[in-house]
């Protein structure tokens, strides 16, 4: 159920992003990134809104079932229910609504919290029914890499976002500093992994370091890119490398 809830929330976030950017102008004709569903006319705003309602409901139902299955009593039920509702709210309000927080540069914080701290720590607690401070190190790592994915997306869209008034982090600090920010996220993510291994004295998770060269190549590729078309492939590569990193870490932890 954890996987279903995560997938539903991710789909909801993507749908809401497509809908919200179309409403607020970030997906205008001047945008040079990949074709978006509403922008291209393949899906109407009403259809996209209905899809958002559907996956919002699926996220809620899946989350409720996950909490019900995982918790033996009601002691933590309402706390996790509040976190679930907050995750749904964050997925929708990133670019949707009257004052979407993604347009003020707060998207990175949301991704770091929900894809990192809340996602990892919450999942661990639901499966183990105990809190382990060391898990926060892995939550920090995954939060950094997930935020790096969003940062590449925002570097790619920096020109169209600036025109639409979407003040993402790259728009606020500029392309060069956004690339430095990317390197900081990647390095800090691996520092947290290394610290986890050393403190926990469980060395097999170091297998996740196999993804470091790939992430370094991604960073170098972004630095050398001069167009949206050149940057876009690195967004996909960073997303895939984050997924593989998670799988390798989990595999190493089991061993």
How far is it, in rounded angstroms, from Cα 237 to Cα 104? 26
Residue 131 pLDDT exceeds 90:
no
pLDDT for position 36: 59
- What is the mean predicted confidence (pLDDT) over 202-226? 95
The pLDDT tens digits of the residues spanning 138-162 come to 999 999 999 999 999 999 999 888 9
Domain locations in the chain as residue ranges: 1-99, 106-255
The pLDDT tens digits of the residues spanning 3-41 come to 889 899 989 988 888 887 777 655 555 555 566 566 666
Backbone angles phi, psi at 154, to 5 degrees: -75, -30
Please give the C-alpha separations between residue 174 and each of 81, 120, 124, 158, 202, in angstroms, as whole numbers: 38, 31, 37, 8, 40
Return the percentage of the chain with pLDDT > 90, whole number. Answer: 62
- What is the mean predicted confidence (pLDDT) over 106-120? 94
Q: In CATH terms, is domain 106-255 a member of 1.20.120? A: yes
Using CB atoms within 10 Å of the CB of residue 35, give its burial: 0 to 12 exposed, 13 to 18 middle, 19+ buried. Answer: exposed
Q: Judge contact between 149 and 172, C-beta under 8 A.
A: no
How far is it, in rounded angstroms, from Cα 112 to Cα 228? 24
């Amino acid at each position: 159920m954890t996987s279903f809830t995560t997938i539903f929330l991710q789909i909801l976030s993507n749908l809401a992003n497509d809908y919200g950017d179309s409403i607020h102008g970030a997906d205008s004709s001047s945008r040079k990134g990949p074709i978006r569903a509403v922008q291209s006319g393949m899906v109407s705003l009403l259809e996209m809104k209905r899809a958002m309602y559907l996956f919002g409901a699926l996220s809620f139902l899946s989350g409720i079932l996950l909490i019900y299955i995982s918790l033996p009593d009601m002691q933590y039920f309402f706390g996790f229910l509040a976190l679930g509702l907050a995750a749904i709210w964050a997925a929708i309000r990133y670019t949707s609504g009257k004052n979407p927080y993604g347009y003020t540069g707060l998207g990175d914080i949301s991704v770091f919290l929900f894809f990192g701290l809340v996602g990892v720590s919450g999942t661990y607690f639901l499966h183990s029914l105990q809190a382990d401070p060391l898990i926060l190190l892995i939550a920090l790592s995954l939060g950094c890499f997930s935020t790096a994915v969003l940062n590449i997306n925002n570097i790619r869209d920096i020109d169209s976002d600036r025109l639409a008034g979407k003040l993402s982090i790259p728009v606020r600090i500029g392309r060069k500093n956004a690339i430095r920010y990317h390197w900081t996220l990647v390095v800090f993510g691996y520092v947290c992994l290394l610290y986890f291994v050393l403190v926990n004295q469980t060395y097999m998770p170091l297998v996740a370091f196999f993804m470091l060269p790939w992430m370094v190549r991604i960073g170098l590729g972004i630095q050398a890119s001069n167009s949206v078309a050149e940057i876009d492939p690195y967004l996909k590569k960073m997303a895939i490398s984050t997924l593989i990193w998670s799988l390798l870490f989990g595999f190493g932890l089991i061993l």
